[in-house]
A and B are shown apart, each in its own frame.
Chain A
């Protein structure tokens, strides 16, 4: 039986959502300072307005619903899903004020894409935006990758019992340390160390490639944030094509592959367990699916004679494929090249790679390698059971941080999430096809949105139908939060209305 919703439930949700919103407001100070440094006064004012508005909303929410009660699991899920929506809307304000978004929906599309590390955009005249707005775009994707709730937990919430539940609602279910604040600090420490290293490495490469020295390290930081969070944004509309540099692409590729690995795996390696890299089921699954899908891409590109030599094929084909598989979405070809040159088989292989996606508890999206590994091992165990004598006890195992027994409930749990992903991919594709897009294009774009990849074959444009924009936004949101918290939010809203009706009837 579903319980009724009380006023205290709203207080808990409102209070914690307010705290997360305050975190978003404080985050906006960084692009404000960036604009001031570059003497972009109008842009700085836009961000100052956005900071004031976001903090105001956050403090009002926290003030009117202040409570000392700790969130339960339902609250945690609603807080995670709800605060993402509030953050998406308020983060869209600087986009609107910049004049580079045609509508508030387009602004929210871009911020949803940023937070969910998708990387699609509807921003107009991207090549002329301020450094402040560019910093904001990349910061969104960087923070979105680690989790905005994780950020708020680190600085605002502290180590309450309910905090870990909120993190789970945001798709960070690995409990690396007993104290939730320590987990959040750990995630941020790993990410910030990589940010420092990545900015220097990519900045030096950018400088060597002829980017102005005072801008090179900003380019380095932007590309790192985009890569590490498997986001896919870049400061210019040509994305990685802007740099004409294989060194930049290789360095970025290393960072987005690292970003696509499970945080627990990073932690295991950082604490000295290096053998985990070779044994982890996600790494094994990732290697197999990368090799399989890249073979298909090679076949498609060679059949069509797209590239003149192996070096060109590898630089374009592998970069695009691995960018899709890690759900990054950085691109070193034009969007329409997929349709015009790669053809259906090349696009299909990339679509499969995007659908599978990165590792669980990483910055990436998609089904996740862990679930693929569990399902495949589950099928193999079932086949072994069928081939074994009836009395034989056959159990399957998989290695993820330690050896785990493969139970039916584990396989079922993984299969349910995979089915839900397939469902949103299909729904998005059907809506696309209903608007007249070819089936291959519609599936490519829908899977890209649902798996938070961001590669585009040209469907995502400011002129695309409004409903399709909304569907892609829902796909990004559900795909990033892995359904449970979004469904809980919908259920909570429905239950709230029912509770109101019951109370009215009682009166």
Chain B
């Protein structure tokens, strides 16, 4: 019985010690572009998390860097990383032949950002690279090469017929 009491006391103390730490370390909700745009008034001014692939251009400006993060099919969000916020090295950005780095940012969502003349954006307070980018295979398919050869051959034949055959009809 004494042992049980001791264990329970230790568990209770552990909970008391750990609980406040966990509460303060709660990760802001991870949201998508659709969720943010559909419920823009709800999330306006809130700290949120956002995860996405870095699109082609990191646009460095005087007061910070703009990057666009794609989080799905034709949905992306502009993220502003102000000067002073640590920006990790982005190894790859999106390209036809490249999958860009997947980054996780936390920051403040603005329905209409006063600093950026009404833009819907997130001002990052932290940026973390979750998955480095990679090259993408866009292989040439043999079947398509065959199709091209067949079509080009037929085209050559038809063009030869077209340019050697005299025109029909009379010009009015």
Q: A residues near B, CB below 8 A?
A: 8, 11, 38-43, 45-46, 48-49, 52-53, 55-56, 59-60, 62-63, 66-70, 97, 123-131, 209-212, 215, 236-238, 241-244, 246, 306-309, 311-313, 315-316, 332-334, 336-337, 340-341
Known: A70-B171, A316-B118. A62 touches B57 (CB 8 A): no
Q: How many Å from the CB of A337 to the closest CB on chain B?
A: 7
Residues 29-73 of chain B, each 1 if its beta carbon lies under 8 Å from chain A, else 0: 000010001101100000000000001111111000110101001
Contact between A129 and B140 (Cβ–Cβ < 8 Å)? Answer: no
Q: Which of A41, A127, A212, A241 has the most CB of B within 10 A?
A: A127
Name the distance in Å between B135's Cβ and chain A's nearest Cβ: 12
- The 0/1 profile, CB within 8 Å of A marked 1, for residues 89-113 of chain B is 0000010110000000000000110
8 Å CB contact of A210 from B59, B94, B111, B154 = B59
Q: Which residues of B contact A236 (CB under 8 A)?
A: 55-56, 68, 76
Task: Pick 24 A–B contacts, CB within 8 A, sort by A.
Answer: A42-B139, A42-B141, A45-B145, A48-B148, A52-B148, A52-B152, A56-B154, A63-B161, A63-B165, A69-B172, A124-B74, A129-B96, A210-B65, A215-B56, A215-B57, A241-B78, A244-B59, A244-B66, A244-B116, A312-B112, A316-B117, A334-B33, A340-B41, A341-B40
In the complex, what residues of A have CB within 8 A of residue B158's CB?
A: 56, 59-60, 63
Query: How far does the Cβ of A435 sit from chain B's closest Cβ, in whole Å?
Result: 20
**C-alpha gap A63/B60 in the complex (Å):** 56
CB neighbours of B74 from chain A (8 A): 123-127, 237
Taken residue by residue from 139 to 167, chain B's Cβ proximity to chain A (1 for < 8 Å, 0 otherwise) reads as 11100110110011011001101100101
State the B residues within 8 Å of A (CB): 33, 37-38, 40-41, 55-61, 65-66, 68, 70, 73-76, 78, 80, 94, 96-97, 111-112, 114, 116-121, 138-141, 144-145, 147-148, 151-152, 154-155, 158-159, 161-162, 165, 167-172
Decide yes or no: A210 and B61 within 8 Å by CB, A56-B158, A59-B158, A127-B94 being known contacts.
Answer: yes
Q: A129-B96, A209-B59 are in contact. Are A97 and B144 (CB under 8 A)?
A: yes
Residues of A within 8 A of B56 (CB): 212, 215, 236
